[in-house]
Amino acid sequence: MTKIKKYYIYPAVVLCTLSFCGCREQNKSPVLARVGNSVLTVDDLYRSIPPEYSDQITREQNVNYVKQWIDTELLYREALRCKLDKDKEIKDRLEKMKKDLLAAEMISKTSSYSSRIDPDDVRAFYEQNKSEMLRESDVVKYLEIVVDSLETATFIARSASESNFSSLAVQYSKIPFSDSGAYVPLEDLQPELRKAIESRKAPHISGPIKSELGYHVILVQEKLEKGGICTLEEAWEEIVTLLSSKAQKENIEKLLSDLRLKNSVEFNFDQISGNPSENSVINGK
């Protein structure tokens, strides 16, 4: 939900982009809104939604997006009529925005070149640093099946075992199922699930457990206590993220180093009031 909200907090940025592009009827996608010769189509709307959140955006949010697109287009056109784009201060700000955007895109493009993190590198990093990877809370690894019927949940709970749990989940669960499981802080679980999981040692199967989603049958695979050293599986994604960030940073630094050699760059720190006298000139080709 946080990411979806973030997407809608800054609609004006996206809408301004659409406005500056001067959307035209270049395809036959249904028109959602029109201001003068600029249009917003259904395809434009869907392209503005990050793919991973496309099934979570509500109709009301889409309606608000369209309304904001209209408002932005009206304000943009009025700004042009008032010749705000000719104002020197505005032109300077637009130029800075352009530079910042293109520089950010260059970083993004360079970062995308980062090679896939080698699993052996992840394992090596873990072995070298695992003594510092302490678990911050009690965690549990579990699988769950959620159904609407108490009768069905009771049948599953009586029939389930560690060996057939995944096949039962695929057959009955109304929520997406992954048999890989995940380590979840115990405190983050719904109270009903947390109570059932806390009461018994792993591995075990509990259920039916009633919640607002329906009836749960859960297979608790592992319970790990706060303060212990994280397992490699627990720490895997965090290590991958850390190594990816490091690789991206190195790629960007290499790019900047190469660019400094190809261009004439000068900086004069002694001109900055309050700083120690420092004056350096780097000459490129």
What CATH number should be reported for the domain holding residue 167? 3.10.50.40
What does DSSP say about strands 183-185 and 139-147: parallel, antiparallel, or unpaired?
A: antiparallel
* Residue segments in the chain with a per-residue pLDDT below the cut of 50: 1-25, 277-279, 281-285
Q: Are residues 121 and 262 in the same domain?
A: yes
My answer on whether 51 and 158 are in the same domain is no
Q: How far apart are CA 11 and CA 4, in angstroms?
A: 11
15 plus 80 within the same structural domain: yes
Q: Are residues 171 and 240 in the same domain?
A: no
Q: pLDDT value at position 18?
A: 42
CA distance 173 to 1: 23
Answer yes or no: are the C-beta atoms of 144 and 217 closer than 8 Å: yes
Residue-level pLDDT at 24: 47
The parent domain of residue 67 ranges over 2-86
The domain boundary, picked from 86, 105, 124, lies at 86
Q: For residues 105 and 236, state if they share a domain.
A: yes
Number of domains forming the structure of the chain: 3
Task: Give the Cα separation of 77 and 167 in Å (integer).
Answer: 59
Same domain, 249 and 212: no
pTM: 0.54
Residues 234 and 156 in one domain: no
Clarify whether residues 166 and 205 are in a common domain: yes
Residues 196 and 167 both lie in one domain: yes
Q: Do 14 and 48 have their domain in common? A: yes
- 108 with 173, same domain: the answer is no
Q: Give yes or no: residues 10 and 27 share one domain.
A: yes
